[in-house]
Amino acid sequence: MRLLFLAVLRPHTGNAVTAERVRDHLEAAGHICILKDAFDFESPSEIANLIAAENVEAALALHLYRGGRLLQGHGIPFGVIFGGTDLNEDVNQGEKNKVMGKVLEEARKRDRFHWLSHARFVAQPHAKGKIYVQSQGIATVPNPAFDWDAFLQRSEINQSADNLHVFLLICGLRQVKDPLYVVDVFSEWHQEEPNVYLVIVGPEVDPVFTREVKAKVRRTAGVRLIGEMPQGDLHAVMKSCFVVVNSSVSEGMSAAILEAMDLEVPVLARNIPGNAAVVEHGVTGLLFSEPQEFVQLAKRLVRDPALEKEIVANGREYVRTHHSWQAERDTYQRLVRMLEGSSGH
C-alpha cells in the first residue's frame, strides 16, 4: 500500500524521531511510506496534487492540526496520531480548534478516518468507536563512541567526573517547555555545591524565546545550554548524566522521560497531567510542583543512593511493561490494515 505520511520534520525534535520510527514500523510491513514535512504545504489542494502524482492510497498525519487539516476532502482513508500540542495547546486556540473540529466533522460523515493517540485524550463524540490509544514505544541506542569528557568540555564544565552531578533538561527551546523554570533555584544550589550543573539540550525552535534563554543562561552560574544533538549521542549523554529533568508547562507523553527510564536514569519531572500519567511519584520517578520543591527532591536524590536505585529499577520495568517498541509496531501496522480495508484493497 502506498501511504502518505505528514509530520513536522524539524531535525532532532520529538516529532521527527517519532515520524521516523513510525515510518520504519510501516515499511517493515511492506508498505511504501512517503514521508513529507507538513510545514512544506499550505493547503489541502497542494496535497491533492501530491496524492495524484504519487498514486497515494491512504494517508497518515502526526498532529491533527499540523497534518490532519491537510488531509481533508481527498476521498482517501486517513489516520491521525495525536500529540501533546494537539491536546494541550491547539485545542485552546480558537482558530486551530475550529479547524480540528472540521476534520472531526468530516470523519463523522465519512467512515474513512481513524486516529491513534500517544497522549491523554478527552473523547469527542464524532470519533466514537474510532479511537485507538497506544502508549508510545521506546527504543534507545546510545552511541558507544560518544566521549563524555568532550561533552563536559563543550559544556564548559571543569569538574572531575567522579564527583559531578549533571542534571539534563532535554527540550526544544519554546515557551511550552519552560526550560527556565528551575534555572534560578538551581543556580543558587550550584553556588552552595559547585559540583551540580544543569545542562539544557535541544534545538532552537522559537527564535525569539531562544534569545531569551541564551541571555538568561549566559548570566546564570551552574547552568549550560547545548544545541541539538543526534539521537545516539543524546542517548549517550542521558546514560552518563545523573538525572533527566522535565519542566514543561504541558506534555502529551514525553519521549525524554521514557527514554531516561529505559536507560536507567532517574527522572525529575514537573507535576503536570501528562508527566504524572507516566511518572508515579516516589516509584518510577519524582514529581515537583514548584522550583523550591525541585531543589529539595534533587538534593534528596544526590544524598540517597538507595532511592535512586529503586526509582531506576521501577522506571525501567515500567517502560518494558507499558511502552514496548514491538507493541507500538503491532498497533501501527494494525491501524494501516484498517485503512487498507477502508480503501477497498
From the CB of residue 345, how many other CB atoms can be counted at a distance below 10 Å?
11
| pLDDT score at 132 | 55
Q: Tell me, what's the pLDDT at 87? A: 64
Residue 240 confidence (pLDDT): 96
Q: Return the CATH superfamily for domain 2-137+324-342.
A: Glycogen Phosphorylase B; (3.40.50.2000)
Mean pLDDT for each 10-residue chunk of the chain (345 residues)? 90 80 92 94 90 92 84 83 68 75 63 43 42 70 94 90 92 95 98 97 94 98 95 95 96 89 97 92 98 98 97 96 87 83 65
Sign of CA dihedral 156, 160, 165, 170: positive
The three three-digit cell numbers of residue 246, written as one number: 522535565
Query: What is the pLDDT, as a whole number, of residue 84?
Result: 65
pLDDT for the residue numbered 251: 86
Backbone φ and ψ for 196, nearest 5 degrees, come out as: -105, 135
The torsion angles phi and psi of 141, rounded to 5 degrees, stand at: -140, 90
Runs of H (alpha helix) within the chain: 14-28, 44-54, 84, 94-109, 148-154, 183-192, 207-218, 231-240, 255-262, 273-276, 291-303, 305-322, 325-342
User: By 3-state DSSP, what share of the chain in percent is helix, strand and coil, each rounded to 5?
Assistant: 50, 15, 35
Q: Write out the three cell numbers for 285.
A: 520517578
d(CA 17, CA 230): 10
Cβ–Cβ under 8 Å, residues 307 and 284: no
Q: What is d(CA 76, CA 61) in angstroms, rounded to the nearest whole number?
A: 13
Dihedral sign for Cα 224, 225, 230, 234, please. positive
- pLDDT at site 292: 98
Report the distance separating Cα 204 and Cα 213, nearest Å.
10
CATH of 148-322, one of 3.30.2290.10, 3.20.20.70, 2.40.30.10, 3.40.50.2000: 3.40.50.2000
The pLDDT value recorded for residue 5 is 94
Delimiting residues of CATH 3.40.50.2000 domain(s) in the chain: 2-137+324-342, 148-322
